[in-house]
Amino acid sequence: MAKLVSKTYGDAYLSLAEERNTLDAVKEEVLAVRQVFLESGELNQMLSHPKIVKEEKMRILETAFKGRISEDMMGFLLVIVKKDRYRDIMSILDYIIGQMKKKEGIGSLKVASAFKLSEGQKADIVHRMKELTDYQEFEVDYEVDESLIGGLVLRLEDRVIDSSIRTKLQTMGRSLSKIQL
């Protein structure tokens, strides 16, 4: 559900920015607003407090951001609070950033391996992914997961490429369990 909310609100905001020809400024502004939310525990507490009414939360936002961000972003944040979607604000902002990066040809790739990869192996993975996709660049998050035993698990958007030994063993085990002697 959170993914659908992020997509709905994020696409609406991007559509507005595209219509007003402000896409270039959107990414930086969204990154800045996201950073404020990350760094301000007090702002987050007030906005998520159940006893503070929507109207007060909207005034808090206006006090925190008025004059520092565009009117479009201010209105967007106010709509999110008005519609009781404050809990989704970080995922909405992350979605917008992801879509902007996508437009710039930058993919977000997560790579899990059973052991630490060398720089050469990392370069080979990125090179191969550039060949397989339309992305020109990748932001890659590498993770070591010893439970994989060997191989890799690659995640790009909603796609997963799992060539781990763990998965192959699980698949083989399921196949063998179906064989009746």
Question: What pLDDT band is residue 180 in, cutting at 50, 70 and 90?
Answer: low
**Residue-level pLDDT at 181:** 58
Tokens of 72: 């479009």
Which of the 8 DSSP states describes residue 163? -
Mean pLDDT on 48-69: 93
pTM assigned to the model: 0.81
Q: Do the strands 137-144 and 106-113 form a parallel or antiparallel pair, or are they unpaired?
A: parallel
- pLDDT of residue 2 exceeding 80: no
Helix (H) or strand (E) holding 152: strand 152-156
Percentage of the chain lying above the pLDDT 70 cut? 98
Segment 92-145, tens digit of pLDDT: 999 999 999 999 999 999 999 999 999 999 999 999 999 999 999 999 999 999
The rounded mean pLDDT for the chain is 93
| Measured CA distances, 27 to 51, 68, 137 (Å) | 33, 15, 17
